[in-house]
Amino acid sequence: MKNKQLILENCCLIDANNAEPSAPCSVIIKDDVIDAITNERCTDEHAQRIDCSQQFVLPGLIDNHVHLLAAQFDLMDADLPEDYIAIQAKTYMERFLQRGFTTVRDAGGAGFGLKLAMERGLINGPRLFLSCKALSQTGGHGDYHTRNTPFDPQFCRCGGSNMSVIADGVAAVRKMAREQLRKGANQIKIMASGGVSSPTDRVQDVQFSGEEIRAIVEEAQHVDTYVMAHAYAPAAIEHCVRNGVRTIEHGNLLDAQAAALMREHGAYLVPTVVAYHAIASIGAEEGFPADSIAKVGEVLEVAVQAIEIAREAGVKVGFGTDLLGPRAHELQGDEFTIRGAGAETAHQIISSATAVNAEILQQEGTLGILQEKAFADLIVVDGNPLEDLSLLAGQGEHLVLIMKAGKIYKNTLSFPQNL
């Protein structure tokens, strides 16, 4: 019933504004937003109430680097049919939500159809922020031609999913950026350096010219959005930031000079540390190419160190995972515990996965925070994740309630009688 209130009582809140759990309070939900947070008892006799005593309430989690169309670990295998990949994407979305991720940003591949299916209730999944196809130069991280494959600009299929498109030159990249925006992209993704999974480049390679990047950035800015860039090495990171890129994805080889430039330009870092742990632990079993596994050593050991460099420089740090294939996706929440083993505090990491990621999405104040007029996207955790980040790992076993836009998707707490 529209306008009926739902009240979460005896809540201890943890968010970017609460580095320690708040005193018990009530969170009043009306329709799809938080109507009020109060220490006073609501007297609405028709309100539905849920007792959250001894539980901890967090904003819905946000993963700012996923690939919904990465249906298998080996992106070089282009044999999967597109309808199979779509069904796999549906499964990913449902499981993201069950792990408490109420919002995700796709970093290349997913199209508007998945978002439309979610919005129309065909899929119980998180909010989607789309990049549509990632832009790659010839021979870049999004070009999956091998050295012996005849060139075909429509070939880069990444497991049949068509996650990227090749464009060279200012006119071509400008057109491709416009094309992604026409198709419903919320932001533009570019491949601005070599990568681990790509077959013909090195991790440290710089990709796209400054003129090309500036043209893509200009197109994004014309519609009030931004460019996110896959980049590892300092030279590639600086190249991106100087030419207007707003978020650096991965950034494992970040150094102090590049971090200072990011801070100067207000650029964000979105680490994806769990991705390299997944490759190192199960990549060979899952058919990941040997040449790509060999590259992991260049980026795995320094991944957490890059986060520390960024924080020391004052760079805002987000949260991503970048996992490939169903088995690796089960490790999504391990990003919390892996980063928690470094120098970051639990509160910093939770803030990365909520308020900072919301800023990156240009949704500050509406997502990733527990406050009046924010969307009612939240999770209730059985235990204090500030003391134990593993409560946010696994498959959502420690989440007793999951809500997105005021709708409950999981609830193991009983509804008391209306009072």
Q: Of all residues in the chain, what percent carry a pLDDT higher than 90?
A: 82
255-278 per-position pLDDT tens digit: 999 999 999 999 999 999 999 999
Residue 118 has pLDDT above 70, yes or no: yes
> What's the rounded Cα separation, in Å, for the pair 37 and 367?
16
pLDDT at 80: 84
- Residue pair 279/293 in contact (Cβ under 8 Å)? The answer is yes
Q: Does domain 5-59+371-411 have CATH number 3.30.70.20?
A: no
pLDDT at 247: 99
CA distances from 85 to 55, 125, 231, 287, 314 (A): 37, 16, 26, 18, 39
Please state the separation of Cα 331 from the chain's center in Å: 14
pLDDT at 149: 67
> What's the rounded Cα separation, in Å, for the pair 381 and 391?
7
Full strand arrangement of the beta sheet holding 101-106: 61-66, 101-106, 127-129
- The model carries a pTM of 0.95
Residue 130 has pLDDT above 70, yes or no: yes
pLDDT at 201: 82
Residue 157 has pLDDT above 80, yes or no: no
| Architecture of the domain spanning 61-332 | Alpha-Beta Barrel (3.20)
33-63 per-position pLDDT tens digit: 999 999 988 778 788 999 999 999 999 999 9
Mean predicted lDDT score pLDDT of the chain? 93
- Residue pair 239/262 in contact (Cβ under 8 Å)? The answer is no
216-258 per-position pLDDT tens digit: 999 999 999 999 999 999 999 999 999 999 999 999 999 999 9
pLDDT at 419: 38
> What's the rounded Cα separation, in Å, for the pair 43 and 45?
6
Q: What is the 3-state secondary structure (H, E, C) of the chain?
A: CCCCEEEEEEEEECECCECCCCCCEEEEEECCEEEEEECCCCCCCCCEEEECCCCEEEECEEEEEECCCCCCCCCCCCCCCHHHHHHHHHHHHHHHHHCCEEEEEECCCCCHHHHHHHHCCCCCCCEEECCCCEEECCCCCCCCCCCCCCCCCCCCCCCCCCCEEECCCHHHHHHHHHHHHHCCCCCEEEECECCCCCCCCCCCCECCCHHHHHHHHHHHHHCCCCEEEEECCHHHHHHHHHCCCCEEEECCCCCHHHHHHHHHHCCEEECCHHHHHHHHHHCCCCCCCHHHHHHHHHHCCCHHHHHHHHHHHCCCECCCCCCCHHHHHCCCCHHHHHHHCCCCCHHHHHHHHHHHHHHHCCCECCECCCCCCCECCEEEECCCCCCCHHHHCCCCCCEEEEEECCEEEEECCCCCCCC
Residue 85 has pLDDT above 90, yes or no: yes
Residue with the larger pLDDT of the pair 143 and 94: 94
Q: Where in the chain is the domain with CATH 2.30.40.10?
A: 5-59+371-411
Residue 99 has pLDDT above 50, yes or no: yes
Residue 154 has pLDDT above 60, yes or no: no
Residue 137 has pLDDT above 80, yes or no: yes
pLDDT at 417: 42
Return the bridge partners of 27, or none.
8, 37
Residue 111 has pLDDT above 50, yes or no: yes
- Residue pair 367/60 in contact (Cβ under 8 Å)? The answer is yes
pLDDT at 198: 76
Return the bridge partners of 221, or none.
none
pLDDT at 194: 92
- At 1, the pLDDT band (50, 70, 90 cuts) reads very low
pLDDT at 153: 55
Q: Where in the chain is the domain with CATH 3.20.20.140?
A: 61-332
Number of other CB atoms surrounding residue 217 within 10 Å:
21
pLDDT at 388: 99
